[in-house]
Amino acid sequence: MSDTPKSLYLQRTGVREYVARNQDGAEVLVGHGPGRFSPGDLLKLAIAGCNAMSSDARMAARLGEDFEQFVGVSGDYDQDNDRFTHVDVELVQDMSALSDEEIADLLRRAEASIKRNCTIEHSVVDQALPASHTWTNERIN
């Protein structure tokens, strides 16, 4: 796996409306309104997606490669301080074929995988992620 950062950018398409793109050709509509994800939605989805992807191999090893999973995510928002105070991720899958002990062991291993492999949690949840921005004055064609 390469350490070279992927090309990732947003392009303005209207008032508080953007399209996010990456070098692989993926697009996400960003903004407030129908068919768009808000930046807060994307943050919550990043945390949920990282939890799911970090634990996926562990879950698949025990539940089968074709196991079904639904991942819900919600967040508590402090309007006075304009920040999320908590994000709750729920990973739903059928573990009914496992004993209580097997479920406990699987969840312990899945949690360890998240703690070890979830870059988003390491960067945002475990400690504050410093950010900076630069303004550039140039013509866009």
Q: What are phi and psi of 29, to 5 degrees?
A: -85, 125
- Residue 2: domain span: 1-37
- In a shared domain, residues 12 and 75: no
Residue-wise pLDDT tens digits, 20-67: 999 999 999 999 989 999 999 999 999 999 999 999 999 999 999 999
pTM score: 0.88
Distance CA 31, CA 13 (A): 10
Within-domain flag for 134: no
- Of 103, 105, 73, the C-alpha closest to 86 is 73
Within-domain flag for 86: yes
Within-domain flag for 141: no
Look up residue 1 and give its two tokens: 């796996």
Q: What is the pLDDT of residue 33?
A: 87
Does residue 1 carry a pLDDT above 60? no
Residue-wise pLDDT tens digits, 96-116: 999 999 999 999 999 999 999
